[in-house]
Amino acid sequence: MDPASLDAADPLASYRDRFVGADSDLVYFDGNSLGRPLAATRDTLAGFVGGPWGERLIRGWDEEWFDLPLTVGDDLGRLVLGAAPGQVAVGDSTTVLLYKAMRAAVAARPGRTEIVLDRDNFPTDRYVADGVARECGLTLRWIDVDPAAGVTADQVAEVVGEQTALVTLSHVAYRSAWIADAPAITRIAHAAGALVLWDLSHSGGSVPLELDAWGADLAVGCTYKYLNGGPGAPAYVYVAERHLDTLTQPIQGWMGAADPFLMGPTYTPTDGVRRFLSGTPPVLGMLPLRDMLTLLDEVGIQAVRDKSVGLTSYAIDLADQELAPLGVGVASPRDPGRRGGHVTLTHPAMREVVAALWQQDVIPDYRDPGGLRVGLSPLSTSYAEVECGVHAVRQALDEVS
C-alpha cells in the first residue's frame, strides 16, 4: 500500500498537526528518544509563568503543586499504566527512581542474595543495579539474550529461586523493541518469592500496560519519549498498593515525610506512594507531560497502539523490500504482539549511515552494534514520513557502501 493511502486511512492522522514542527520536512525517527512537543505546551508554559507561578506564587503549593506528583501520577496510571489511583508518583529522574525502587525491593527481601537482570537492559538500569548490589552485598545474576529479541519467561524461570530478591527488566527492550511477557515473568518471580521491577521507559505511551493486572510490584519509567514531556522531564514510579505500607526508600526527604510542613525532628515516611518522593517536586517539568496526558485521554492508548503497530509493520515491510537486498537485517521481533514502538535495522555501515542521514534532516539514532533505530512515535509520525526515511536510508547506504 502506498503511504498516502495509509495516511488517508489513518484515524489518528490529524493529531500530527498538534505537534510543533510536524509541518517541516524533517523525518523524525527519534520520538522514542525525545518526543516532539505539543504546540499547546508553548502556551501552557508561558501561561504558567504569568499565572500560577507569577500570580499565585508560594500559594500554588497549597492550591495545586503539592499534590501534583500524585494527581499526574494517577492520570498516568489510568491512561497509560493500567494502575488504579494512589500507586504512581512523578518526580526525580528515571535513574534516581530506579535506585529508590531497587533499594526498597532489596530491603524488603532480607537474606536473599541476587538481583536478576539481562545484559541487554538499558545501561542506566544495569549501572544502578550494579551499585545497589555492591552496597547491599548482593550479586547480579545476568541473563544473556538474543539481541534481536529479549528476555523470555523460560530464561527467567531458569535463574530465579529462593536466593532472588529482585528481577529487574525493561518491558520493551531499548534496542530490539522486544516486549517481555510481563504477566508470565511476574508469576515466575513471585513463585520464587522475588519482587519484580519493570522499566517502562520504552513502552509507556506506546504499548498499553496493565501493571495491576500483571501483579507487578514496582515500575519506573521516563516521560520524555512517547509521553512528550521534554528533555530531562521527570520520571514516574509505581508501587503496588499491597506494598505501600512496607516498602521504604533510602532518600529520606521532607516531601516524602508525614506532615512535611510540621518540619518535625525526625523522619517518618508518609502513607502511600508519596513516600517515594524526596525533595521538592519539579512542577514546571510536569506540565508538558500533563498536556500529553490530556491528549491521550482524548485518543485512548489502544488507538495509539494500533497506529504504532501499523507504523512499525509498514517500516518492516519497506525494509524487507528496499533494504534487505542491500544486506540490511531487521533486529526487532516480526510478531507485532512482541514488538514495541520502534524497529532496529542492522548493517555494518549503520554508524556512517546515521551520520549521513542527520546531515539531511533525517533523524534516526544509532545503537551499537550496527543498529539504526527507527523510532515511530504514533501520534506525531505519518506513513509518508516512514517511506521518506526508509528511502533516505537506502540512498545513504548506496553512498557509504
Q: Quick one: which of 8, 49, 191, 213 contacts a copy of itself (CB under 8 A)?
A: 49
Based on the residue annotation, tell me whether 224 is a catalytic residue of this protein: yes
Give the shortest CB-154-to-a copy of itself separation in angstroms: 24
Residue type, 275: R
Based on the residue annotation, tell me whether 238 is a catalytic residue of this protein: no
Give the shortest CB-8-to-a copy of itself separation in angstroms: 26
Spatial separation of the C-alpha atoms in residues 32 and 204, rounded to whole Å: 10
Based on the residue annotation, tell me whether 199 is a catalytic residue of this protein: yes
33 versus 206: smaller Cβ distance to a copy of itself: 33
Q: Quick one: which of 110, 111, 137, 265 contacts a copy of itself (CB under 8 A)?
A: 265
Report the site for a copy of itself in 317-376 (rule: CB under 8 A): 358, 363, 365, 367-368
- For residue 259, what is the DSSP state? S
231 binds a copy of itself (CB under 8 A): yes
Q: Quick one: which of 6, 12, 41, 339 contacts a copy of itself (CB under 8 A)?
A: 41
Based on the residue annotation, tell me whether 66 is a catalytic residue of this protein: no
Spatial separation of the C-alpha atoms in residues 25 and 34, rounded to whole Å: 18
Question: Measured in whole angstroms, how far is the alpha carbon of residue 136 from the centre of its chain?
Answer: 27
Give the shortest CB-278-to-a copy of itself separation in angstroms: 4
300 binds a copy of itself (CB under 8 A): no
Report the site for a copy of itself in 75-104 (rule: CB under 8 A): 91-96, 99
Is 170 in contact with 198 (CB distance < 8 Å)? Answer: yes
Spatial separation of the C-alpha atoms in residues 359 and 293, rounded to whole Å: 33
Q: Quick one: which of 267, 324, 348, 360 contacts a copy of itself (CB under 8 A)?
A: 267
Longest CA–CA separation in the chain, Å: 70
Q: Quick one: which of 224, 238, 276, 314 contacts a copy of itself (CB under 8 A)?
A: 224
Report the site for a copy of itself in 161-220 (rule: CB under 8 A): none
139 binds a copy of itself (CB under 8 A): no
Q: Which stretch binds a copy of itself (CB under 8 A): 179-187, 229-237, 341-349, 384-392?
A: 229-237
> In the structure grid, which three cell numbers stand for residue 359, read together?
546531515
> In the structure grid, which three cell numbers stand for residue 321, read together?
523490500
Based on the residue annotation, tell me whether 29 is a catalytic residue of this protein: no
Residue type, 106: V
CB burial class (10 A; 0-12, 13-18, 19+) of residue 387? buried
Q: Where are the beta strands (DSSP E) in 112-264?
A: 114-118, 139-143, 164-170, 195-199, 218-221, 236-239
What strands lie across the sheet with 342-346, from one edge to the other? Answer: 329-330, 342-346, 371-375, 365-367
Q: Which of 224, 238, 314, 383 is catalytic?
A: 224
Q: Which of 100, 112, 175, 225 is catalytic?
A: 225
Active site residues: 122, 199, 224-225, 373
